[in-house]
Amino acid sequence: MPRQGKCTNYAGCLLAYRHETLYIADNEDFICPECRQPLTPATMPAISSPKLIPALILGGIVALVLIGSIAVYTQAKRLKQDQPAMTPAAVGEAPVPQAAASIPPDDVAQNPRTHAVGSPAAAAGEPAPGIKANTPNLDVKNSETQRVKPEVLKRIDLMPNISTENKDKLYMSVERARRMGRIITIPFASGKTSLSAADVENLKNELKSPQLQALMQDATCVFVVLGYADKTGDEKTNLKISQERAQNVLATLRDKCGIANVMHAVGMGGSTLFTDGGAEKNRAAEIWAVLP
């Protein structure tokens, strides 16, 4: 007879925060099929002491920080190794013009777009005014969500390094979401995929709004980071660029902004979703809140 249990890894497991009852065969290990943590029998109280919840959450955060740090270090090392061989054809998007690195101070106010995320100005430590928090509109019937949601569902199947089971869970989270909306937009300079220290501070400031703080404190809220690239160049390379943008933003949210919610990074590839403002509007990452 199958045993019934529940996962209590609330900080890092989709099954835990949904409070799903799991059925495990007698000949199988009594562990969560998603996070591989021991299950609590469903017939027993899930938490025997109220003090255990903070300890579990703290342990999950520490584990996420360690995993994220390793991932960021590995990604940075790989990008550094690949950088000398990068050409406009390989990058897909057009590289940042060399002249942009020598923009005089008086030109900063006249050319605010040169201060997008990853630009020379942002890398020098100046603020990146392009990062913008949006007043959350989580109505799944609003026009923006209706336009973007089908594209997200298409791209989930192309996500690398994720199991079919987890793809299905993410697909169902987005498909069945009762509330969903874009909360932050992060522009990138052409060919750039990482955030500077100034960008990170700007992002932290945007996350301080009461509405976004409430979402971060809701354990059922899943954050989906969508990465975009323009249509210049090779399609596969643009998909890779968009995935790296999304993954780098996710790592920043987790490791430097202290967000412990379940998060996923989805590369949208070369995009023409944003036609107002030219191709640069598609060199971006967006943070979406998804609630069941």
Q: Which range (76-90, 123-137, 229-243) has the least confidence? A: 76-90
Instruction: Give the contacts of 47 (CB within 8 A, at least 6 positions apart).
Output: 8, 40, 53
**Domains in the chain: ranges and CATH:** 1-85 (no CATH), 92-291 (3.30.1330.60)
- Sheet containing strand 3-6, strands side by side: 22-24, 3-6, 40-41
User: What's the CA gap between 10 and 68, in Å, rounded?
Assistant: 18
Q: What's the CA dihedral at 146, 211, 130, 200 to 10 degrees?
A: -120
Instruction: Give the contacts of 198 (CB within 8 A, at least 6 positions apart).
Output: 122, 123, 124, 125, 126, 127, 128
Q: What is the model's pTM?
A: 0.54
pLDDT for residue 113: 34
Q: Which residue has the higher pLDDT, 238 or 91?
A: 238
pLDDT in tens, 168-190: 888 888 888 899 999 999 999 88
pLDDT for residue 46: 44
- Sheet containing strand 284-291, strands side by side: 132-133, 179-187, 284-291, 222-229, 263-270
One-letter amino acid of 37: Q
The residue-averaged pLDDT of 38-53 equals 63
E strand segments, 62-171: 132-133
Question: Is the pLDDT confidence value at 41 over 80?
Answer: yes
pLDDT for residue 53: 65
The residue-averaged pLDDT of 245-260 equals 95
Q: Which residue has the higher pLDDT, 167 or 80?
A: 167
The residue-averaged pLDDT of 132-160 equals 83
Q: Output b/e per residue, 134-145; b: 16+ Cβ within 10 A.
A: bebebebeeeeb
pLDDT for residue 106: 28
pLDDT in tens, 255-281: 999 999 999 999 888 876 665 555 677
Question: Is the pLDDT confidence value at 220 over 90?
Answer: yes
User: What's the CA gap between 78 and 90, in Å, rounded?
Assistant: 15
Q: Which range (96-105, 237-246, 250-259, 265-274) has the least confidence? A: 96-105
6 in Cβ contact with 46 (< 8 Å): yes
Q: Tell me the percentage of the chain whose pLDDT exceeds 70.
A: 72
269 in Cβ contact with 235 (< 8 Å): yes
The residue-averaged pLDDT of 92-112 equals 40
- pLDDT bucket at 95, cuts 50 / 70 / 90: low
Q: Which residue has the higher pLDDT, 255 or 2?
A: 255
Q: Which residue has the higher pLDDT, 49 or 269?
A: 269
User: What's the CA gap between 243 and 239, in Å, rounded?
Assistant: 6
DSSP character at residue 186: E
Tell me the residue length of the chain: 292
pLDDT for residue 248: 96
Q: Using alpha carbons only, what angle is made at residue 232 by residues 226 and 233, rounded to the nearest 5 degrees? A: 105
The three-class DSSP label of residue 46 is: coil
Question: Is the pLDDT confidence value at 43 over 90?
Answer: no
Quickly list H helices, 176-234.
197-206, 210-216
The residue-averaged pLDDT of 210-237 equals 91
